[in-house]
Amino acid sequence: MVRVRPEAQKGCTAGETLSLPDVAWAEDMAKLTWALAHPARVRIVRLLLNRTSCICGEIVEEMPLAQSTVSQHLKILKETGLVQGEIDGPRVCYCINKEAMAKLKKLIADL
Amino acid sequence: MVRVRPEAQKGCTAGETLSLPDVAWAEDMAKLTWALAHPARVRIVRLLLNRTSCICGEIVEEMPLAQSTVSQHLKILKETGLVQGEIDGPRVCYCINKEAMAKLKKLIADL
DNA sequence: CGATCGTATCGTATATCGACGATAAACAGT
DNA sequence: ACTGTTTATCGTCGATATACGATACGATCG
């Protein structure tokens, strides 16, 4: 995501303030925060947290968005790991991945 | 940022799970998380937190990005309120806005 | 005043996001 | 098997993000 200029290599090998592990850490953090970087996704996460367990396409009902758009946001939340979805007959139940949530909270808290 | 379809009005006035305050809250959250939704900005924030007080364009030195790009990211961080910048002679000193950071941390922790 | 240094902004190109409608795919029930 | 329901994916379009170089701005120093 971040293009690295050639001359930046020098700095990295010389023990800079931001060493290589920090880069990975920053990307981790960015990935997780990006998952919440849209009101719709924030609302979806909040919704799932409210109902303790999981929900299916009721989410669509609660959102002022088209079904396909909600599905896209759910896909993003799944890809970042914040949300899990398991098939339950004809529908799909989504629920929060508590580990991922904990990781996010810890990352932010430890800032 | 979120386009609201006309028929969604009905749901909002009927006391939905996601009432209007939640919408504002979600946008608040999204705005703050979006500030950290890029590795470069995460690294800048980390950098500023490390050095307790403020820094100027040393940030550019630490980043593998062009000066103008870093300036853009700093602008975003300023707009979201996470970072403050004050002119110090010929250069500009940036520092973390602790209140905004606290707000972000609280929002995430209270999820 | 003019030169220089540090920073911000402009202009631009490319990539990605976010939204939608339409369509496909998976499953349950008749 | 057919049908209806639920969810995912595709294709598209406008808006925005991200990156850069070039340039403008502002302050300090000679």
Q: What is the DSSP string of B36-83?
A: TSSHHHHHHHHHHHHTSS-B-THHHHHSSS-HHHHHHHHHHHHHHTSE
Amino acid at A86: E
Long-range contacts of A49-55 (CB under 8 A, 24+ apart): A49/A96, A49/B111, A50/B17, A53/A93, A53/A95, A54/A84, A54/A85, A54/A86, A54/A93, A54/A94, A54/A95, A55/A93, A55/A94, A55/A95
Backbone angles phi, psi at A2, to 5 degrees: -105, 120
The answer to whether A72 CB is within 7 Å of strand D is yes
- Write out pLDDT tens, residues B71-92: 999 999 999 999 999 888 888 9
CB proximity B3–strand C (7 Å threshold): yes
> Averaged over B2-16, what is the pLDDT?
34
Given a cut of 80, is residue A60 above it in pLDDT? yes
**Interchain contact, B42 vs A50, CB within 8 Å:** no
Give pLDDT, residue B3: 39
For A40-49, A76-85, B14-23, B38-47, which range has the lowest pLDDT when averaged over its residues?
B14-23
Among A3, A34, A101, beta carbon nearest to B37: A34
Amino acid found at A22: D
Predicted pLDDT at A20: 64
B10-69: pLDDT as tens digits: 222 333 445 667 889 999 999 999 999 999 999 999 999 988 667 778 999 999 999 999
Give chain A residues 30-69 with Cβ within 7 A of strand D.
Answer: 56-57, 60, 67-68
pLDDT of residue A10: 29
Q: Quote the crossing angle between the two packed helices B39-50 and B67-80, to the nearest 10°.
A: 80
Task: Judge whether residue A64 has pLDDT over 50.
Answer: yes
- 3-class DSSP state of A4: coil
Average pLDDT, whole number, for chain A? 82
How does residue A19 score in pLDDT terms, banded at 50, 70 and 90?
low
Exposure b/e, B2-41, CB count within 10 A at least 16 = b: eeeeeeeeeeeeeebebeeebbebbbebbbbbbbbbbbbb
The single-letter code of the amino acid at A45 is V
Spatial distance between the Cα atoms of A71 and B3, rounded to a whole number of angstroms: 16
Question: In 10 A of CB A60, how many CB atoms?
Answer: 15
Instruction: Give the type of residue at A94.
Output: Y
Angle B98-B1-A103 from CA coordinates, rounded to 5°: 50
Interchain CB distance below 8 Å, B37 and A39: no
Is the pLDDT assigned to residue A17 strictly greater than 60? no
What the block records as the tokens of B86 is: 């004050």
- Compare A84 and B51 and report the one with higher pLDDT: A84
The pLDDT value recorded for residue A75 is: 95
pLDDT of A4 strictly over 90: no
C-alpha to C-alpha distance for A11 and B16, rounded to whole angstroms: 53
Confidence of residue B2 (pLDDT cuts 50, 70, 90): very low
